Every structure is written in C-alpha cells, then in structure tokens.
C-alpha cells in the first residue's frame, strides 16, 4: 500500500539530523544546566547555542527566546503573562475569531474568572482581518492584541505588520501565534514589529514537547509557572535539554530551506494538487485567501459529502489528511474558522486539510489526486443530495 503523509500542519516527521543532534543529550551529556559544575556547564552551553539558533530563525536576540514545552504553553504565557504584568493598566484583550484553540481557550479562561474582557475581530470571506477594524476596537483599557500570523486551518496570512502598527500607535503590546508560519515564511520580528511571537519545534521537523516564545527586549511579563528561575524566571522547571537542542538544529535546517528553493518546491506541489482537484471534482471550494496563503496548505470543501468520510476513505488507501486542527479532533461541531469566513452550508461539514512538506513527491500528489477523485465519486453516488450536472 502507498503511504502518503499530508498532515504536516498537525505535526512533522522529525528530521534525522535533528534526531542525531539530540541523541548525546539523552545519555552522554546529562548535567542540569542550572548547575555550575562541568556537567552543568556543558549542557548549559548546548542550550545557549540552541537559543542562538532559534533566535536566528526569527532575526531575534538569543536573550529574547524563552523555551517552553509547546506552542500552546507559549501562547498561554504570552496572554496570561502580559495580563498579570499590566493588570493595573487595564484588562481588555483583542483577538480574532479564527485563532488556534490555545489562544481562544486561554482567553475564555481569563474571561470566565473575570480577569479580562475579550473582543473578537471578525474576518472577511478569505480569513483576513482589516487593520481599521482593529483600530475601531481598541479602547482605553486594551492591554494586548493577539492575532495569529498564519491560520493553521486555511493558511491565510494576516497583515501582521499593519496590525502591529495600529496596536503600537495606541501604546499596546502585540502578540502573534506564528506556529503555522515558521519554516515556511521568513519571519523577522524586527520587520514585523511584534512584541511577542510563538513558534513550535514539531511543526518544523523538530521534536514534540518544546516550543518558544519570543519576548522583545525590554518588555516584562509575569510568570504563569512557579518554581525555579529557569528561562529568566518565566518558565520554572528543569529544561528539556534534548528537545531544546533538537529545536535549535531544526531551526538551522528550516532557515536553510527558506533560502535553497525548498519552499518553492512545496508550493509547486500544493498548486498542482489544488489545480487538479478543482478541475476534476465539481462543486469544490478552496478555503482561504487565493494568494496570501502559506505555501504548504490546501483546505478544500467538497459539497454533498462528509469530510470525515473522505478522511477515513483516504486513510484506507494510505493517505493521511485531516479535517482541521488536530487540537479540535473530537468536536462534533463545524470548524470555527469556516464559520467565521461565512462558508455556505453545503460546504461547512466537508473540509479537508492537506498540508505538505519537503518530503512529499510528485508521485505522492498524483496518487492522492487519483484516489480522491474516485472516493468522491463513490461517496456522491450514494448521497441523496448529489445531483450531477448533465453534460
């Protein structure tokens, strides 16, 4: 059986070079980086090299990188950390209606405990946020704006630079969740102008269990985990050294891939997939912006078939895709992202997210297209709603 992995926005395969870099730190180098003896110094040095490597991917300073256990933890730290630090100035936070669950659920938590008031910006049919809408929503109690760089379900890239300017003109902090963008789009925190930014190792062929928060020099936030003074006192707990070393190596590889044509190869395969599906399957909708979209992602809705039925049938043929964010699996309701962009009823329950990476081949894409066409034809043949157009 063919085995084709097109679910890279859920997680990526750990690069063998990353694994090789990590291995010595499971057994050979095992000292606690917080200790001053030789065992601790050698692991501390490895951790700081990794910090430099992750910082380089973002054009940041090493001291601006805070290692966490995940992108989710980094998002929590950004939101709750800012809120703790500026509680005397206000408690109004602005976000968007298409954020990742780690943002929306964190905000729901602080709202439930009466720690903050939340405003959600709507998006247009392509998932874009208007800077003017943000400007109109800011009030004198606003202390933070958190808007994702690239949507993890539909791939739309937000105008972060413009949104950040509006926010800074009002004297407010700006955070962006860039987990879905890292390794696929050059990220320069200085050019973007953001104050806080989140990335995750396992989305760029690094290990699971490690993420990072970029925190601009000079900005103070409160800790949400209490214990030791690791990570500048912002993330208590002995560091995941093998994971951090792997994150550093993955960041080095990702930066190289941005420059050597790898991204363009991924985009070409994604475009082939999109064009062929649109040509060969009637009543298909491409979700997300037609051009302001991350290179590896294709989110489609196919009318008159259930997305999960397509997913399961593809799985039987060895093809892995998803119906949306991996963090939303198990929810019976339609995607909040598709609801936010106002998708038609006939498309709302049939989203399929195909996310590619540098390991995918044209042969895999061709096989996926042929298989998907047959599956849709088979499912529509038993659908009471499907009425094929007469030629």
Q: Which residues are catalytic?
A: 327
Instruction: Tell me which residue of 98, 119, 95, 107 sits closest to 342, measured CA to CA.
Output: 98
**Rounded-to-integer distance, Cα 285 and Cα 363, Å:** 24
Nearest to 324, CA basis, from 98, 120, 125, 163:
98
Give the E-state strand segments of 241-380 in sequence order: 284-287, 297-302, 319-320, 351-355
Cα three-residue angle 140-175-184, rounded to 5 degrees: 150
Task: Give the angle 79-85-86 at the CA atoms, nearest 5°.
Answer: 90
Contacts 24+ apart (CB under 8 A), 341-344: 341/98, 341/123, 341/124, 341/125, 341/126, 341/127, 341/154, 341/287, 342/125, 343/285, 343/287, 343/301, 344/285
Residue 132 and residue 161 in contact, taking contact as beta carbons nearer than 8 Å: no
The pair of structure tokens assigned to 253 is: 């590889």
Owner of token pair 């950004």? 78
């Amino acid at each position: 059986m063919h085995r084709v992995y097109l679910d890279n926005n859920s997680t990526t395969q750990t690069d063998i070079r990353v694994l090789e870099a990590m291995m010595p730190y499971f057994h050979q180098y095992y000292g606690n980086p917080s200790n001053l003896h030789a065992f601790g110094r050698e692991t501390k040095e490895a951790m700081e090299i990794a910090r430099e490597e992750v910082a380089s991917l973002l054009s940041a300073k090493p001291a601006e990188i805070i290692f966490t256990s995940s992108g989710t933890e980094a998002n929590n730290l950004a939101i709750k950390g800012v809120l703790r630090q500026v509680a005397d100035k206000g408690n109004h936070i602005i976000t968007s209606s298409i954020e990742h669950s780690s943002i929306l659920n964190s905000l729901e938590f602080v709202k439930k405990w009466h720690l903050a008031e939340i405003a959600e910006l709507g998006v247009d049919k392509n998932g874009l946020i208007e800077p003017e809408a943000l400007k109109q929503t800011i009030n004198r109690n606003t202390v933070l704006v958190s808007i994702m760089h690239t949507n993890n379900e539909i791939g739309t890239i937000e105008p972060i630079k413009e949104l950040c300017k509006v926010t800074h003109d009002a004297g407010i902090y700006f955070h962006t969740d860039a987990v879905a963008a890292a390794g696929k789009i050059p990220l320069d925190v200085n050019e973007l102008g953001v104050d806080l930014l989140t990335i995750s190792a396992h989305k760029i062929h690094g290990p699971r269990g490690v993420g990072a928060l970029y925190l601009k020099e000079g900005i103070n936030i409160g800790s949400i985990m209490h214990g030791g003074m690791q990570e500048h006192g912002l993330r208590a707990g002995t560091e995941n050294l093998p994971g951090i070393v792997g994150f550093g190596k993955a960041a080095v590889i990702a930066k190289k891939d941005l420059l050597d044509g790898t991204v363009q190869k991924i985009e070409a395969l994604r475009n082939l997939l999109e064009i062929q599906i649109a040509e060969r399957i009637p009543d298909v909708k491409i979700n997300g912006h037609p051009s302001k979209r991350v290179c590896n992602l294709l989110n489609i809705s196919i009318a008159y078939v259930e997305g999960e039925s397509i997913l399961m049938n593809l799985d039987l043929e060895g093809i892995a895709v998803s119906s949306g964010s991996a963090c939303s699996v198990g929810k019976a309701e339609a995607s909040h992202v598709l609801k936010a962009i106002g998708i038609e009823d006939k498309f709302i329950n049939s989203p399929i997210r195909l996310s590619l990476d540098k390991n995918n081949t044209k042969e895999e894409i061709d096989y996926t297209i042929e298989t998907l066409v047959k599956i849709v034809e088979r499912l529509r043949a038993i659908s009471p709603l499907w009425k094929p157009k007469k030629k």
